[in-house]
Structures are given as structure tokens and as C-alpha cells.
């Protein structure tokens, strides 16, 4: 009995086998930890690959010109973009090829499940979301009864759709826009016009720069009352601006003896420099047809300083508008993204001249733009009216042309929800007088005011447009002071016009939409190059602002 007790005590005190026992016991958690690290690392690697596939699917499914992006751009309402969802699924599945069905349970369509592909259009914005969940098999953790890791993730991407924009180019074609396009102390188109224009010679013996354009006999120019020179009762300034200047001088020199006024040769070095000429009497009696029989007129004058014509302000505007049409075509991202209309105005806006269209690069629209000078106040177009410059009435006509003048306008998110821009191009001199069409009498005051004058028919029209959500961009082509002033002409119209000039800029700035992150909506341009640059800037501003707003 004592021997047994001693053996038990000895066994209890003997520690030589403890290390093996402790090692055996510790091996289980150690193996589990190493196995967990290996299995977890593999799961993390697979999740990273799945996340990369989800990122690619979300971004590519709504990238510009993708099938989903194109489908969304033609949708007329918000909702699910099915083409983009299908693309996202295909891109995701392609990138994880080889993992299926190891990690996923396949649905009835053979696609991984649970995986979600959601693409929606809201206004002009696209949002794509890809969500995944996958079971990654384990190797080492099976010893503790765990068979898999579940990894999850998601990816979202956003994209902007091109906005559908309508451009209403509201173009001043009243008399003052018939001024020559350039002027300088020593030349320019203004000087060329002064040398050859006989219109209103008695009032302006230094030479009238306004290209008179009334075609009817005795409408605004008469041989006995204003011309001081026989013109058969017709205004000739506009007509002379449309023909070859050297050809016109050759006609003048055919008269013998030379006349005493009003055409003076200002050509340096010419043998007849400083001498005065007149048209042959045979031509005068047949005006205006006789002049066109001798010299073929042009319909527009694209460039200043050329022999073929004298460029007027409206020629410069017309050329700038054709460049804007070309710019719009290059900026268009999807078919029919922009609509453009040209609306010349005098007393009213002529909404039938070149109405809003997606075919703005067609021959009809480009011709309407380049030949804009032909719309100068001819006193024959009842759609335009005649006599003064009624900017407020014209803008009210445009307001009525946009959704019948009622309600808020669209936000550009679809072709049926377009965002309208009004481009007002004018010298800003509001003149409330009127002339009956055709060749009728004058009525109303001819004393110039501004667009915001309380006496106007629609003094708050700019606010009306803006309150509807219509963007208003203004190009001010500065009104040129009349010099010399004839205070006895038309109840001192000249002084009133000159005194009004300082008030114009503020009234047009107030009319324009408030400045935004892309800058001011008020622009100025005087020379042809400046007018062209300003119109291009107005269009580019519209594109930037549309995306900022939406």
C-alpha cells in the first residue's frame, strides 16, 4: 500500500512530460489562428476582385455613349434604365468569369444571386448601383466547423446626361442696326458709307451713316425735302451698300459735267481726289432698278472693307449667328439636343422668320442668318411692324412663343422637357414710335427710352421671362452717338437718342439673368469680331450653366 502511494506521489511530482501536453493543447488554437489568417486573406482577395468588378460595371454602364446612356438620353421621364442595368450585369459577370458558380448561387437566368444592378434616371442625372454578396469556401477553418466566409460590397457611379436646350435668338433689325459695322477716326465702314450715302443730305451734309432701307418711293427720302440730290424719291444708302464700291464710283464718273454734291472722292492718290460726282441722269430717272441693272447687288456682306459691299451691323450679326449655328453643331452630343430659332424684331418679333428647329445647320436657317440685313426696317413686313424699336413687345412675343406664355418651363432633362434660353441681341435703344405698313404715317413718340421704362407696353417683361425659369442672355451692341446732331430734325430726335445712351447698359444688365458660377449673362460687342466672340461665349455659358443648375 505504501509502494502504491509512493508511485502516485512520484508521478504527481514528475514534470518531464508537461511540454508535450501543453504543446498538444496549444496546437488547436494556433492552427485555427493560422488557418483563419489564410482563409481570411483569400476571402479579402476575392472581395477586392468582386469590388473591382462592381466598380467597373457601375461606371461603364452609364459612361457617355454607352447603350444605357443613350437610352437614358432619349427617355422623356424618370425611371429605370434597363439597357444600363443589363450592361452592368454583363460587365460584372465578365469580370468575375471563373468564380461562377463557385462563389455564387445562380438564379434561374444563370446569373449570380444575390447580386443587384440598379440604374435610374432622375432629371438629367444617372445613378448606377451594383451590390454583391458571395460565399468564399474555407480550407483550414473547417476543423472548427466553419465552411465559408460571406463577403459583401457595393459600388455607385453618377453621370450627367446632355441637356436639351432651346435657343430663341431675338435679333434687333430696327433702323439703328443698319449702321456700318466699323468706325474709326480715319476710316472704317462708317467713313465709306458717309462718302457715298445721299440719304437725308440736307440734314446731314457731312454724310449720313444710317443705311436708309425703306424701299417705297418718298417713304423716308424725297428729292425736294431731304435729299438735296435727285434720287427719284428713293432711299439709296442700303442699296449702295450692297453693290461694288468701285463699280459705283465708275458710274458716278460717267456724268458730265460733274455734279456739285453729294459724292466726294476720298480715295488717296486718285486723280479726282476731293472732287464731287453725281449719277448720270439716265440712271437717276430709273432708280432704283437702273442701279441694279448696272451693278448686281449682294444679299449679305460677310467681311468689312471689301469692294463688293459695305458691311452693316446686321451683316456682322448675321455672320456671327452662322458661326453660332456651326458651334452648336460641334457641341451637340446626341441627336436633336439643341433647337435654334431666329426672331428678328422691330415693333414685333417675327416668329415666322426662322422658327425653332433642330435642323439649324440646314440651308434655310443659315441663309436666314447670313441675310439678316435684308430684314432691316423695310416698312413692308407686317409681322415685324415698322418705325421704332419695341424691345419689350418683342420679348413679350417670345414669351408667348414659349409654351404659350404660361407656366414654368422645362429643365432640359428630355426632348419634351427642354430648357429655353433667350438671346437678346440689340443696341438697347427702345423707341416707341410706329410707322404704318406699308408706307404709312408715323405715330407715337420718337424719343428714345430704355427697356425698363415704365411707359413701355411691357416694362417688366424680363422679370416675367426669368420668373418662368427662362434664361435670358443679352448682347449689347453699343448705340453710336449721332454726330453731327441736327436738333431741328424730327423734334430733336438726335439729342434725345444721344442723351439716352448712358441709360442703356444698366437696363440691359438688369434684363439679363443674374450672374452664376460661369459668369455674367450680360455681354457687349461692338466690332464684328467682338460680336462673334460674344455670341460664342453666350452659347458656351449656356452649356456650362445648364449642368451647374441641373
The model's pLDDT over 483-503, given as tens digits with 9 standing for 90+, comes to: 888 888 888 999 999 999 999
Specify the pairing of strand 471-476 against strand 419-426: parallel
Give 515's DSSP letter: P
Q: Which residues pair with 397 in a beta bridge?
A: none
Task: Select the more confidently predicted residue: 424 or 203.
Answer: 424
The region that residue 337 occupies, defined by phi over 0 for left and psi between -120 and 50 for alpha, beta otherwise, is alpha
Least confident of 53-57, 139-143, 177-181, 429-433: 139-143
Q: How far apart are CA 518 and CA 541, in angstroms?
A: 6
Using DSSP's 3-state secondary structure scheme, residue 467 falls into helix
Helix (H) or strand (E) holding 357: strand 354-357
Q: Is residue 197 a contact partner of residue 209, using CB atoms and an 8 Å limit?
A: yes
pLDDT tens per residue, range 118-128: 999 998 899 99
**Is 137 in contact with 312 (CB distance < 8 Å)?**
no
Give per-residue pLDDT as tens, 420-474: 999 999 999 999 999 999 988 999 999 999 999 999 999 999 999 999 999 999 9
Query: 230 pLDDT band (50/70/90 cuts)?
Result: confident
Question: Model confidence at 550, in pLDDT bands (50, 70, 90)?
Answer: very low
pLDDT score for 511: 98
Split at pLDDT 50, 70, 90, the class of 19 is low
- State the pLDDT at residue 549: 44
- Indicate the burial class of 219 (C-beta count within 10 angstroms; 0-12, 13-18, 19 or more): buried
Classify residue 14 as left (phi > 0), alpha (psi -120 to 50) or beta: beta
**Portion of the chain with pLDDT greater than 70, in percent:** 91
pLDDT tens track for 347-382: 999 999 999 999 999 999 999 999 999 999 999 999
Domain boundaries, the chain: 18-160, 165-179+312-549, 188-196+220-294
Residue 386, φ and ψ in degrees, nearest 5: -160, 155
- Calculate mean pLDDT across residues 114-139: 90
Q: Which residues contact 426 (CB under 8 A, 6 or more apart)?
A: 170, 171, 172, 177, 389, 391, 474, 475, 476, 477, 508
Consecutive H or E run containing 70:
helix 67-74
CATH of 165-179+312-549, one of 3.40.50.410, 3.40.50.300, 3.30.390.50, 3.10.580.10: 3.40.50.410
Give the whole-angstrom CA distance, residue 390 versus residue 384: 10
Residue 1 pLDDT? 59
pTM (two decimals): 0.85
Pairing of strands 148-160, 125-137: antiparallel
Confidence of residue 2 (pLDDT cuts 50, 70, 90): low
The residue-averaged pLDDT of 524-542 equals 97
In this predicted model, which residue has the larger pLDDT, 485 or 129? 129
Residue 470 CA to residue 399 CA, distance in Å, equals: 9
Give yes or no for residue 188 having a pLDDT over 60: yes
Backbone angles phi, psi at 181, to 5 degrees: -75, -25
Looking at per-residue confidence, does 234 or 211 come out higher?
234
Cβ neighbours for 222, distance < 8 A, ≥ 6 positions apart: 233
The neighbour count for residue 260, using CB atoms within 10 Å, is 9
Q: What is the mean pLDDT of the chain?
A: 89
Count of other CB atoms within 10 angstroms of residue 406: 9
| All cell numbers assigned to 313 | 451691323
Candidate from 186-200, 293-307, 390-404 with smallest mean pLDDT: 186-200
Residue 96 near residue 73 (C-beta atoms within 8 A)? no
**67 pLDDT exceeds 90?**
yes
Maximum CA extent, the chain: 167
Q: Name which of 217-226, 253-262, 291-300, 430-439 the model is least confident about.
A: 253-262
274 dihedral zone (left: phi>0; alpha: psi -120 to 50; beta): left
When pLDDT is cut at 50, 70 and 90, the band that residue 205 belongs to is confident
| Closest by CA position to 391, among listed 423, 447, 345, 341 | 345
pLDDT at 548: 45
Q: How confident is residue 185, by pLDDT bands cut at 50, 70 and 90?
A: low
pLDDT digits (tens, 9 = 90+) for 138-165: 877 777 777 888 899 999 999 888 899 9
Amino acid at each position: 500500500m505504501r509502494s502504491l502511494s509512493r508511485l502516485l506521489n512520484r508521478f504527481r511530482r514528475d514534470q518531464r512530460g508537461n511540454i508535450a501536453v501543453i504543446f498538444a493543447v496549444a496546437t488547436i488554437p494556433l492552427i485555427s489562428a493560422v488557418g483563419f489568417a489564410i482563409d481570411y486573406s483569400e476571402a479579402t482577395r476575392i472581395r477586392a476582385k468582386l469590388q473591382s468588378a462592381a466598380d467597373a460595371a457601375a461606371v461603364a454602364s452609364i459612361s457617355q455613349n454607352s447603350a444605357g446612356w443613350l437610352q437614358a438620353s432619349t427617355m422623356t421621364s424618370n425611371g429605370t434604365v434597363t439597357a444600363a442595368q443589363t450592361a452592368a450585369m454583363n460587365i460584372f459577370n465578365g469580370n468575375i468569369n471563373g468564380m461562377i458558380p463557385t462563389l455564387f448561387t445562380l438564379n434561374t437566368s444563370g446569373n449570380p444571386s444575390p447580386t443587384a444592378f440598379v440604374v435610374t434616371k432622375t432629371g438629367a442625372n444617372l445613378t448606377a448601383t451594383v451590390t454583391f454578396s458571395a460565399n468564399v469556401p474555407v480550407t483550414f477553418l473547417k476543423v472548427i466547423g466553419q465552411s465559408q466566409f460571406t463577403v459583401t460590397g457595393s459600388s455607385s457611379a453618377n453621370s450627367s446626361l446632355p441637356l436639351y436646350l432651346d435657343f430663341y435668338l431675338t435679333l434687333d433689325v430696327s433702323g439703328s442696326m443698319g449702321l456700318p459695322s466699323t468706325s474709326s477716326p480715319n476710316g472704317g465702314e462708317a467713313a465709306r458709307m458717309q462718302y457715298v450715302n445721299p440719304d437725308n443730305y440736307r440734314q446731314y451734309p457731312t454724310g449720313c451713316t444710317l443705311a436708309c432701307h425703306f424701299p417705297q418711293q418718298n417713304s423716308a427720302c424725297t428729292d425736294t425735302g431731304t435729299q438735296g440730290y435727285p434720287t427719284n424719291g428713293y432711299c439709296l444708302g442700303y442699296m449702295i451698300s450692297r453693290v461694288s464700291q468701285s463699280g459705283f464710283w465708275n458710274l458716278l464718273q460717267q456724268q458730265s459735267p460733274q455734279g456739285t454734291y453729294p459724292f466726294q472722292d476720298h480715295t488717296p492718290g486718285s486723280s479726282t481726289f476731293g472732287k464731287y460726282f453725281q449719277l448720270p441722269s439716265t440712271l437717276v430717272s430709273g432708280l432704283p432698278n437702273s442701279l441694279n441693272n448696272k451693278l448686281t447687288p449682294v444679299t449679305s456682306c460677310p467681311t468689312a472693307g471689301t469692294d463688293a459691299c459695305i458691311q452693316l451691323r446686321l451683316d456682322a450679326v448675321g455672320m456671327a449667328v452662322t458661326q453660332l449655328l456651326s458651334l452648336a453643331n460641334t457641341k451637340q452630343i446626341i441627336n436633336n439636343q439643341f433647337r435654334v430659332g431666329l426672331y428678328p424684331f422691330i415693333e414685333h418679333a417675327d416668329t415666322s422668320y426662322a422658327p425653332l428647329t433642330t435642323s439649324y445647320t440646314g440651308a434655310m436657317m443659315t441663309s436666314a442668318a447670313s441675310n439678316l440685313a435684308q430684314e432691316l426696317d423695310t416698312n413692308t413686313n407686317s409681322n415685324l411692324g415698322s418705325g421704332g424699336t419695341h424691345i419689350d413687345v418683342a420679348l413679350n412675343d417670345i414669351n408667348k412663343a414659349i409654351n404659350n406664355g404660361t407656366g414654368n418651363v422645362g429643365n432640359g432633362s428630355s426632348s419634351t422637357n427642354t430648357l429655353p434660353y433667350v438671346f437678346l441681341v440689340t443696341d438697347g435703344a427702345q423707341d416707341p414710335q410706329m410707322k404704318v405698313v406699308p408706307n404709312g404715317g408715323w405715330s407715337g413718340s420718337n424719343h428714345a427710352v430704355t427697356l425698363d421704362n415704365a411707359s413701355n407696353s411691357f416694362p417688366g417683361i424680363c422679370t416675367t421671362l426669368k420668373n418662368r425659369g427662362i434664361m435670358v442672355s443679352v448682347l449689347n451692341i453699343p448705340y453710336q452717338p449721332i454726330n453731327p446732331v441736327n436738333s431741328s430734325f424730327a423734334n430733336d430726335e438726335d439729342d434725345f437718342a444721344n442723351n439716352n445712351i448712358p441709360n442703356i447698359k444698366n437696363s440691359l444688365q438688369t434684363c439679363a439673368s443674374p450672374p452664376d458660377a460661369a459668369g455674367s449673362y450680360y455681354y457687349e460687342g461692338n466690332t464684328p469680331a467682338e460680336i462673334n466672340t460674344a455670341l460664342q461665349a453666350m452659347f458656351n455659358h449656356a452649356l456650362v450653366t445648364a449642368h451647374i443648375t441641373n
